[in-house]
């Protein structure tokens, strides 16, 4: 039997008369890189907040890392990592202080924090910058650091909400190296992006339009299905079809 990191069934969220997320059903396998795409306002953020245990669904079911998003939200939060473009490290704390702070938040012991700090600085090649304020780091380094901190408690799933916006093309690709590496270790990656070339790096992709999942498959199969050269074409066909 397959091991699922995320399972949803008819997951729905209403705000008054407005249905932000409309009965979405999908599964994400453990260790998969899953791209969660959609136009602005398609309902991605709402869906993601429900999966992170931050927003109670109106109806439907969802399990994340085996935990129920209605009744076990604390367990869900402990099992996931989260990073967004806006999610910021504390700019006026040093690199090391940020690591210690988030390690503490996630309940790691002092010894674990010490070990993690060492391993993480070495992996990021940032040992020299350990005592530097985060505000002094280039944007690309901040992003790599915030990704590493998002997985400091070894979550089985990490949610990345537009992690690469505004980043230069080399740093953007180095960031994806980190994503690949984590997936190779078996971490499930749930990622949103507006860069359609990045959609190609995912194992599977879902595309949301007006609150519903309109397509879900591997990039290769989606391109075949829509007779398109690139994921950008697929996206334009789907998202434009609505109006």
- Residue from 58, 78, 94, 171 binding another protein (CB under 8 A): 171
Q: Is 211 in the site for another protein (CB under 8 A)?
A: no
Q: Which of 141, 147, 139 is nearest to 167 (CA)?
A: 139
Q: Is 170 in the site for another protein (CB under 8 A)?
A: yes
Q: Which of 35, 34, 11, 14 is nearest to 24 (CA)?
A: 11
Question: Half-sphere exposure (CA, 13 Å, Cβ side) for 60?
Answer: 22
Question: Which class for 214: exposed (0-12), middle (13-18), buried (19 or more C-beta within 10 A)?
Answer: middle
Q: Is 11 in the site for another protein (CB under 8 A)?
A: no
Alpha-carbon distance 98 to 105, whole Å? 11
Which residues in 32-91 contact another protein (CB under 8 A)? 38-42
Q: Is 231 in the site for another protein (CB under 8 A)?
A: yes
- In the bound state with another protein, the residue whose beta carbon lies nearer, of 29 and 68, is 29
CA angle 132, 136, 139 (to 5 degrees): 120
Q: Is 27 in the site for another protein (CB under 8 A)?
A: no
Q: Is 176 in the site for another protein (CB under 8 A)?
A: yes
Which segments within 85-187 are labelled E, that is strand? 157-161
- In the bound state with another protein, the residue whose beta carbon lies nearer, of 89 and 113, is 89
Q: Is 181 in the site for another protein (CB under 8 A)?
A: yes
Q: Is 197 in the site for another protein (CB under 8 A)?
A: yes
Q: Which of 115, 171, 113 is nearest to 142 (CA)?
A: 171
- In the bound state with another protein, the residue whose beta carbon lies nearer, of 116 and 142, is 142
- Residue from 54, 105, 119, 139 binding another protein (CB under 8 A): 139
Among the residue ranges 19-27, 76-84, 151-159, 176-184, the one whose residues contact another protein (CB under 8 A)? 176-184
Q: Is 230 in the site for another protein (CB under 8 A)?
A: yes
Sign of CA dihedral 18, 195, 219, 87: negative
Beta bridge partners of 98: none
- Please give the residue ranges that form the binding site for another protein (CB under 8 A): 38-42, 138-139, 162, 165-171, 173, 176-177, 180-181, 183-184, 194-197, 200-201, 219-220, 230-232, 235-236, 239-240
């Amino acid at each position: 039997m397959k091991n699922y990191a995320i399972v949803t069934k008819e997951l729905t969220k209403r705000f008054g008369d407005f249905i932000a997320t409309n009965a979405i059903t999908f599964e994400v396998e453990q260790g998969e890189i899953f791209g969660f795409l959609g136009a602005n306002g398609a309902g991605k953020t709402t869906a993601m907040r429900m999966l992170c245990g931050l927003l109670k669904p109106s109806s439907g079911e969802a399990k994340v890392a085996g935990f129920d998003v209605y009744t076990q939200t604390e367990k869900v939060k402990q099992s996931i990592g989260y990073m967004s473009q806006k999610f910021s490290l504390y700019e006026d704390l040093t690199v090391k202080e940020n690591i210690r702070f988030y390690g503490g938040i996630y309940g790691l012991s002092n010894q674990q924090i010490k070990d993690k700090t060492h391993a993480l600085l070495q992996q990021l090649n940032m040992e020299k910058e350990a005592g530097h304020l985060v505000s002094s780091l280039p944007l690309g380094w901040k992003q790599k650091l915030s990704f590493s901190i998002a997985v400091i408690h070894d979550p089985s799933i990490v949610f990345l909400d537009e992690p690469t916006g505004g980043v230069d093309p080399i740093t953007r690709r180095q960031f994806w190296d980190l994503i690949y590496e984590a997936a190779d270790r078996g971490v499930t990656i749930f990622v949103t992006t507006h860069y359609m070339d990045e959609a190609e790096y995912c194992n599977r992709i879902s595309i949301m339009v007006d609150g519903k999942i309109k397509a879900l498959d591997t990039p290769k199969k989606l391109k075949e299905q829509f007779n398109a050269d690139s994921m950008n074409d697929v996206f334009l066909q789907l998202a434009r079809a609505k109006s």
